[in-house]
Structure 1
Amino acid sequence: MDESSFLLGRSSPGQVARKRHSLSNKRRLAAVVAVVMAVSLAAALIVLALPRAWPSPSYPDERNEFSDLAARKGEFKSEPATRNEKVLVELFVMSRCPDAVKVEDVFSNVVPSVHSIMDVQLNFIAALNPNATYGAQCEHGDAECRGNIDELCALKHRPDLPSFWRFLSCLNSHFDDIGRDSDLSLKCANSAGLDTAAFLACCSQSEGRSLLKQSVENALFAGVARSATVFINGKLRCVEDGGWRDCPGGHTPSDFIRDICMAYKGSTPRPSICAQYKPVAPVGADI
């Protein structure tokens, strides 16, 4: 028996009419719901079947980050012209090495002429050893390590390059006492016009050992094991190791003065001695 027959058999005529009307409304609502669901399903199937016409979702933060980097590319320029423009002379040496003294003696005749356009870096040849007295093993013993520290501290606390070279020449003139006589170092520092308080503090405290460690690391990084080796602006220039070698430009003071003058490209006026040498022009520049 269907629902209408069941209701009609148990109700009065008025009740039957009302129940028929309610049943009709329910059937119409069910039909509407069914139609809406069918239409929604059909629409969903159509959308899935069509190719996507909109772009993939983007991530604004990431997109903007990379866009900003691309936009800023080209804004990063080389260091300004006010940077240190001096020609760098690197000496790979040992304080108690006769070959090092020989090279340093040559440069004692170079520095007075071109010190305004050059700088010097000492890189000491040794083996790092944290258990050693000075944090390194030097070929000529602890006295050499101490001599290395004395020279590094004098270079660090010099008022100018000629002052340091006066200190170095003083030390080398008492070669056998380098690193063995602290009074000698103090005497040389005083006569050269160094700040003796800063010099002594450096030599006796951690600063000197840190300078030695850094200088040894520089030599190891450069792969230089012969004292004395000269680099100018990062390029091998000459070696003195029981005799001069690998010195195609010569090894006299005038040869080094010439090369320093020619390598200089800074804005500071060149020393008068450089007038006889034509400077090397930067790539693309006219002189």
Structure 2
Amino acid sequence: MRMLVPVLLVVAALTARASSSNLVNVSFYSEALCPDCDRFTEGEMKEAIEKVGEIFTLHFVPWGNAKMNDDGSFKCQHGEMECAMNTVEACVIKYNPIRSTWWPFIVCLEAHGYQQTWEIAQQCAEKQNITWSEVKACAEGPMGKHLEVMYYEETASLNPPHQYTPWVLINGKHVKETDMIRKICTAYEGENKPEACMRAQRQFPPMGGCYKEPLE
């Protein structure tokens, strides 16, 4: 009997590793102040995390349809505040890499739609016990720019190129941004699927997207 506990622990550890290797990889290419990104964040993706979050990872990329100017500055589809809030989101993720901390911040910020501001971002950070001074210093400094350049390069390398935001990949392949729970559950090859995978899910209304457009 003395050998039973260590053996069970080893089996449990191996099972946990096998389970994590089956996680679905979801990438969400977004941009601040985009109404369709806001709706997707508060709707499809929020519900997927709540109901089947244990079977997928989420890689969130706050760049979207922004452009990089020749001088290295950024120009964003929804103006300077979009650029600022994209960078704030990047910095929150940088210093708070656990999804259960940074994701509620994203939901909180994007729930404000066009009213996203530095003040709102600070309020959302404080709700999650995120150190706002650290995030603000990052967003206004070289680290924030470094993160956004990294996200710009990643977004620019998408194949096929993204056409709009929100733009979602499941295991590296673009999917239409609807019926996310079913798609994630279908992609999951592990055992013990969440109960939500076995039940019909509510259907969200169809949405368009913030399409690419020239930023002159």
TM-score above 0.5, yes or no: yes
Corresponding residue for residue 264 of structure 1: 188
The one-letter code matched in structure 1 to 2:184 is: I
The one-letter code matched in structure 1 to 2:196 is: I
Question: Given the alignment, which residue of 32, 37, 43 partners 1:100?
Answer: 37
Whole-Å separation in 2 of the counterparts to 1:177 and 1:276: 36
Corresponding residue for residue 214 of structure 1: 150
Corresponding residue for residue 13 of structure 2: none
Corresponding residue for residue 273 of structure 1: 196
1:235-272 CA-to-partner distances (Å, cap 9, x unmatched) read 11115xxxxxxxxxxx2xxx3122212322358x6544
Structure 1 residue runs of 5 or longer lacking an equivalent are: 1-79, 240-250, 278-287
Whole-Å separation in 1 of the counterparts to 2:143 and 2:194: 34
- Conserved in 1, the CA contact under 8 Å of 2:87 and 2:148? yes
Corresponding residue for residue 164 of structure 2: 226
Higher relative contact order (Cα pairs below 8 Å, separated by 6+ residues): 2
- Conserved in 2, the CA contact under 8 Å of 1:154 and 1:199? yes
Identity percentage of aligned residues: 26
Corresponding residue for residue 157 of structure 1: 95
Residue 196 of structure 1: CA displacement? 3.7
Whole-Å separation in 1 of the counterparts to 2:111 and 2:124: 10
Residue 191 of structure 1: CA displacement? 0.6
Structure 1 consecutive aligned stretches of length 4 or more whose deviation exceeds 6 Å: none
The one-letter code matched in structure 2 to 1:233 is: N
Question: Given the alignment, which residue of 109, 121, 125 partners 2:47?
Answer: 109
- Conserved in 1, the CA contact under 8 Å of 2:38 and 2:111? no
Structure 2 residue runs of 5 or longer lacking an equivalent are: 1-16, 201-216
Residue 164 of structure 1: CA displacement? 2.4
Corresponding residue for residue 214 of structure 2: none
Whole-Å separation in 2 of the counterparts to 1:187 and 1:147: 13
Could you say which structure has the larger radius of gyration?
1
Residue 275 of structure 1: CA displacement? 5.4
Residue 95 of structure 1: CA displacement? 0.7
1:129 aligned onto 2:83: no
1:174-185 residue pairs with structure 2 within 5 A? Answer: 174-178=112-116, 181-185=117-121
1:180-217 CA-to-partner distances (Å, cap 9, x unmatched) read x3222121011123344543343233222122112122
Matched pairs, number: 179
SS in 2 for 1:169: helix
